Amino acid sequence: MMLALLLMTAAAPQTDADVEKRYSAAFNTCTNTGDAARGVTPAMMECLSAELERQDARLNQAYTMVMKRLSPKRKTALRTSQRKWIRDRDAKCKRAYDAVGGGTASGLEFQGCMTSETIRRTIFLERYR
């Protein structure tokens, strides 16, 4: 019941355009120049790994800010929702990894999924009321 209430208080789902706008300038530079732009896998993975770290920091900041203003009951509900989201994100990105069939392309798919899902959740938290 509380989880349903929590989800009802969130804003509309994020679009792909919303997510794309959130990638950092550093990521865009990284993927548009040098080896990453030429499709060199280690360079692409480096760009994605650094971006996931940046986006994870943003997610943690948003989560902390929301938690500060919630009642104890709502904090518990959000914490439960966040833990479920982590499990769901990990499972979704593992399926994306598996769908590519292994190898370096799977690693890129996994990292990209983790990053975009983290951005989506950050937007969710920033819009949370």
The CATH number of the domain holding residue 49 is: 1.20.1270
For residue 107, is it within any domain? yes
Higher-pLDDT residue of 11, 105: 105
H helices of the chain, in order, are 2-8, 16-22, 25-32, 34-37, 41-68, 72-100, 103-127
Residue 37's pLDDT band, with cuts at 50, 70 and 90, is confident
For residue 21, is it within any domain? yes
For residue 10, is it within any domain? no
CB atoms within 10 A of CB 96: 17
Q: Which of 10-14, 84-88, 101-105 has the highest mean pLDDT?
A: 84-88
pLDDT at residue number 11: 52
pLDDT at 2 > cutoff 80: no
The total domain count for the chain is: 1
For residue 5, is it within any domain? no
Full residue range of the structural domain in which residue 111 is found = 15-127
For residue 105, is it within any domain? yes
Model-level pTM? 0.86
What is the rounded distance in angstroms from the CA atom of residue 23 to the CA atom of residue 107?
Answer: 19
